[in-house]
Amino acid sequence: MSKKEAQLKKIKAEILKQNICPELAASAIQLVFGDGSAKAELVFIGEAPGKSEDEQGLPFVGAAGQFLNEMLAMIGLKRKDVYITNIVKYRPPDNRDPYPDEKATFLPFLRAQLEAIKPKIVVTLGRHSMECFLPGLQISKCHGQPKRYQGQVYLPLFHPAAALYNGSMRQTLIDDFMKIPAILKKINQEAKIIKTLS
Ligand code: URA
């Protein structure tokens, strides 16, 4: 097991040991921690697991997840090449929105996941995920625009569930998604330049 995988395993064990959000934990079937590669360059962050995710213990495996898989394929990637997770790691009852205190309670664990993986880009899916990292921005204005904040590059995107059945939003999300390879290339070029000079 790699160092990054071991770190992720430890964070997952810590959530269980500390009995984080016990009411959510009691109403859900299981913890939905994350899925994919610990050495991913891209981390995708949604809001909270839904019914299918709760049943399978994996993030984004329902209809929104299928759409996410399709968009990954459009840029030549598979789920195993990236890392996918949510802010809140248990399904809220009846798919209600997670409460602010639930998001705040899980945020340090999400930050620890990012600290372990050290991705090149954090792709936030939907407004709630974006607001955790890029406060004060409006998704309608900044979707598809990479932002560097405190040394980390973020790409705010619309949520695939919101865009799934909305023709124009769906196309906008696909167009934004297709920018990922160029953004990644630019970040890698910058890294090369910095390496050469130092
Ligand atoms: N929506 C989310 O925000 N996360 C999931 O895992 C599935 C749907």
pLDDT along the chain (198 residues), means of 10: 97 98 98 98 98 98 97 98 98 95 98 98 97 94 96 97 91 98 95 78
What's the whole-model pTM score? Answer: 0.96
Provide the 8-state DSSP code for 149: E
Evaluate whether 151 touches 43 at the Cβ level (below 8 Å): no
Q: Look at residue 198 in the predicted model and tell me its pLDDT.
A: 64
Q: How many domains does the chain have?
A: 1
Instruction: Read off φ and ψ for residue 186, nearest 5 degrees.
Output: -65, -45
Evaluate whether 83 touches 44 at the Cβ level (below 8 Å): yes
Give the CA-trace dihedral at 4, 116, 112, 156, to 10 degrees.
-130
Evaluate whether 121 touches 181 at the Cβ level (below 8 Å): no
Burial class (CB in 10 A: 0-12, 13-18, 19+), 177: buried
Q: Look at residue 63 in the predicted model and tell me its pLDDT.
A: 96
Cα distance between residue 147 and residue 51, in whole Å = 32
Task: Please state, in angstroms and as integers, the Cα–Cα distance from residue 77 to each residue in 33, 148, 167, following that order.
Answer: 21, 23, 24
Residue 84 lies in domain: 3-197
Cα distance between residue 198 and residue 185, in whole Å = 20
Evaluate whether 91 touches 99 at the Cβ level (below 8 Å): no
Q: Look at residue 191 in the predicted model and tell me its pLDDT.
A: 84
Indicate the top mutation candidate among 86, 123, 129, 157 to test ligand 1's pocket, ranked by most ligand atoms within 8 A of CB. 86
36: left (phi over 0), alpha (psi -120 to 50) or beta: left
CA of 198 to the centre of ligand 1 (A): 41
Provide the 8-state DSSP code for 46: E
For ligand 1, residues with CB inside 6 Å are: 46-50, 53, 59-60, 62, 64, 86, 161
CA of 47 to the centre of ligand 1 (A): 6
Q: Look at residue 197 in the predicted model and tell me its pLDDT.
A: 76
CATH number at residue 112: 3.40.470.10
